[in-house]
Amino acid sequence: MDQYPLPVPPITASGAVHADSDAIATVAARAEAEAISLVWFLYADHGGIIRGKAAAAPLLRARMVTGIGHTVAMMAMSMLDHLQPVAGMGPVGEVRIMPDPATFVPLPYAPGAAAMLADLVQPGGEPWEACARTYLKQAIADLAAEGYAVTAAFEPEFTLGRREASPDGGPDRLVPADDSLCYSATGFHLAHDYTIDLLGALQAQGLTVEHYYPELGHGQQEMSVRHAPALRAADNHVLYRETVRGVAFRRGMWASLAPKPIPGQAGNGAHLHLSLRDVGTDGQLGDQAVFHDEQDRYRLSATGYHFIGGLLAHLPGLVALTCGSVNSYRRLAPQMWSSAYSVYGMDNREAAIRICSPMRDDPAGSVNLELKPSDSSANPYLSLGACIYAGLDGIRRKLDPGDAVNVDPATLTDAQRQAAGASRLPASLDEALDALAADDLLLESLGGLRRRAYLAVKRSEAAAFAGTDPAYECFEHFTKI
């Protein structure tokens, strides 16, 4: 299931999302062959939480046609389960959690269960304007209309440990599994049983694992997954998040992809790698690496620079979607290798956008852009979709990103940073939301209902954590993300 068609699932003339009967039969047969008794229909909400409902096996075929009934209000729910007053998302109104058969996968960490990634659709099957996965599909389709397709990968870090009661009676703490050094062999030893389980579980779900290493923070791990077409990349990230936690839970451990689960320890990023391929008018993917130009000093094409120009132009508002939690801004600080300034640079790990140097075995295909201000508390469909819209704006307007900054921007003087156009990224979720509320392009891409709900949910999270103890904020994030 490496390539999903563009867009999926097919939309009929009536606008209804239409589940193909062959695909349903294939999934049902596979569920039976694998002794699956429960199938989770999963989606990501505006709080960045993965939620869903499950169909028992005898009802699977029927629910793949109809979806499972769900209240519209869940997209107005915050990551603290505080329901926000959003017009159109009250107690009256219904959507269906409609699974995409192309994503069916047995879950190695939950024997007897399988999952499908789902859209939220209207009861008649028509797309619902606040569905996050549909937003990404729209972005993919709009980009395809310009002749491009995004290939992407989230590169998540996470903290492995145990959840323990706090000795001082405060909120539970995440106690890291080890205190190993960055990339150290000791780290390999200490996390080995878990990492082998995780690797097998990801591979069994069709994710191509590329690299593993113990990261800088205590208990911090990174296992990277190969890039994929945009929708698949976001789906992969949802599967990845659940696998990291599911494998830990089954071992009596706790894992968290929260941006800063432990105050004072290294943050968990989910850097977003992006590149473009060409798409024909027939919708077929070409093999042209659109970001590559061998003649350029950074081997980046004019389109690549325009894409960076778009990302930079929208970055303050964009981070409200790519770094979607209060906890995100504890991570986004200077000299944390997570980026804090709106600059791009060649292999610069303190730049918001890094041009990644190509690999010798595939110099054209491996050129990609890495967005550092991105973490796993984001809704990956909204985050990747918004990056596409920002980059597309840069391509359409041929935006010039200025010169690359190939030093750590924190080491520059204020005057030097100003000359380089290096402004500080938002330092809080509220600041990022202010920037998003002022970004007409991103707001328009989101549409009325989705943007009202997103802003309300996120403002409520910012208010709920304002002035609270960092231990409480970290607790609420590491227990959920």
SS3 category, 241:
helix
Q: Which stretch binds ligand GLU (CB under 6 A): 202-210, 263-271, 394-402, 471-479?
A: 263-271
CB closer to ligand GLU out of 39 and 177: 177
SS3 category, 470:
helix
Nearest one of 273, 292, 419, 404 to 351, comparing CA atoms: 404
CB closer to ligand GLU out of 376 and 460: 376
Binding to Mg ion (CB under 5 A) within 209-228 occurs at 222
Half-sphere exposure of 466 (CA within 13 A, CB side): 10
Q: Among 337, 423, 443, 470, which residue interacts with ligand GLU (rule: CB under 6 A)?
A: 337
Using CB positions, name the residue nearest to Mg ion.
222
With residue 98 as reference, give the H or E element that holds it.
strand 94-99
CB closer to Mg ion out of 47 and 176: 176
In the block, residue with structure tokens 């009861």: 123
Q: Does 212 bind ligand GLU (CB under 6 A)?
A: no
Q: Does 350 bind Mg ion (CB under 5 A)?
A: no
In the block, residue with structure tokens 């706090």: 166
Q: How far is the CB of 339 from Mg ion (least distance, A)?
A: 12
Q: How far is the CB of 150 from ligand GLU (least distance, A)?
A: 21
CB closer to Mg ion out of 222 and 375: 222
Binding-site partner at residue 331 among ligand GLU, Mg ion, none, CB < 5 to 8 Å by type:
ligand GLU
Q: Does 338 bind ligand GLU (CB under 6 A)?
A: yes
DSSP track, 313-341:
HHHHHHHHHHS-STTHHHH--TTSSS--E
Binding-site partner at residue 349 among Mg ion, ligand GLU, none, CB < 5 to 8 Å by type:
ligand GLU
- Single-letter amino acid code for the residue at 390: A
Q: Which stretch binds ligand GLU (CB under 6 A): 59-67, 311-319, 336-344, 408-416?
A: 336-344
Q: How far is the CB of 457 from ligand GLU (least distance, A)?
A: 24
How far from 301 is each of 61, 293, 312, 403, 430, CA to CA, in Å? Answer: 47, 5, 17, 14, 35
Cα–Cα distance for residue pair 383/274, rounded to 1 Å = 12
* 477's tokens: 């994030």
How far from 285 is each of 137, 232, 278, 305, 398, CA to CA, in Å? Answer: 16, 14, 6, 22, 23
Beta-carbon contacts of residue 262 (< 8 Å; ≥ 6 apart): 159, 173, 174, 176, 217, 218, 474, 478
Q: Does 354 bind ligand GLU (CB under 6 A)?
A: no
CB closer to ligand GLU out of 60 and 422: 422
Binding-site partner at residue 293 among ligand GLU, Mg ion, none, CB < 5 to 8 Å by type:
none
Cis? peptide before 261, omega within 30° of 0: no
Q: Among 214, 229, 269, 304, which residue interacts with ligand GLU (rule: CB under 6 A)?
A: 269
CB closer to ligand GLU out of 127 and 219: 219
Cα–Cα distance for residue pair 306/301, rounded to 1 Å = 9
Q: How far is the CB of 327 from Mg ion (least distance, A)?
A: 18
Binding to Mg ion (CB under 5 A) within 159-198 occurs at none
Q: Which stretch binds ligand GLU (CB under 6 A): 163-171, 293-301, 314-322, 329-337?
A: 329-337
CB closer to ligand GLU out of 214 and 229: 214
Binding to Mg ion (CB under 5 A) within 417-446 occurs at none
CB closer to ligand GLU out of 274 and 449: 274
Contact assessment for residue 322 and residue 234, using Cβ atoms and an 8 Å cutoff: no
Contact assessment for residue 379 and residue 481, using Cβ atoms and an 8 Å cutoff: no
CB closer to Mg ion out of 100 and 222: 222
Binding site residues, Mg ion, CB under 5 A: 222
Residues that bind ligand GLU (CB under 6 A): 157, 266-267, 269, 331, 336-338, 349, 372
